[in-house]
Amino acid sequence: MCEVTTILQVASIAFTAIGGIQQASAARATGRFNQQVAENNKIISDQRAADALLRGEEAEAASRRGTAQQIGSQKVAFGAGNISLGSGTPQDVIAGTATIGELNALTIRNNARRESIGFTQQGQNFRSEGELAAFEGKSKSQGTLLTTAGSVANKWYTFNQGSAAPTTTGTTGPTGLPQSPVTDTSRFTNPFGIN
């Protein structure tokens, strides 16, 4: 019977150690996985930032072409009306159209840059989240290993003492209701001789 108890205690110690190592490994793997997901998200954000700039350049060029067409239409209309383009109202109208067209083109460029900056910042945030996930996984892994080491050490100490850990028993108070468990220390000697 003693051999069976010994085998069970040793097995308990081994399973505690193995379980702790597996938990630590899983925590680290989860951290690495989350870091890779965040890195992939950063890559996508960087691609979106580049796309925003490209779309902005195309929209800006299209806006400039539209303005040029509008100015051309205005010149044709003034010419068809036999109105001189060299001075006065026609020149003011064409200059106003050119100014508003340029403002629109610059607004498109600015908006595209802002959108790109937003995606770039989002990508940097993803990278930071990934680094944090890896750190958390490593920290949880180390914490689990330390906890497991303490548990294994406690079980090993108890095993080498040849007795189980102190047991707890419940007591009842004057009303008959259960009170908090107290440690049964009857097996331990008092080294100080104090009762």
CB atoms within 10 A of CB 31: 22
Quick: pLDDT tens for 28-43: 888 889 889 999 999 9
The domain locations on the chain are 13-158
pLDDT of residue 168: 46
Look at residue 96 and tell me whether its pLDDT is greater than 60: yes
Residue 70, both tokens: 């509008």
State the pairing for strand pair 182-183/168-169: antiparallel
Residue whose pair of structure tokens reads 């072409």 in the numeric block: 65
pTM of the model: 0.62
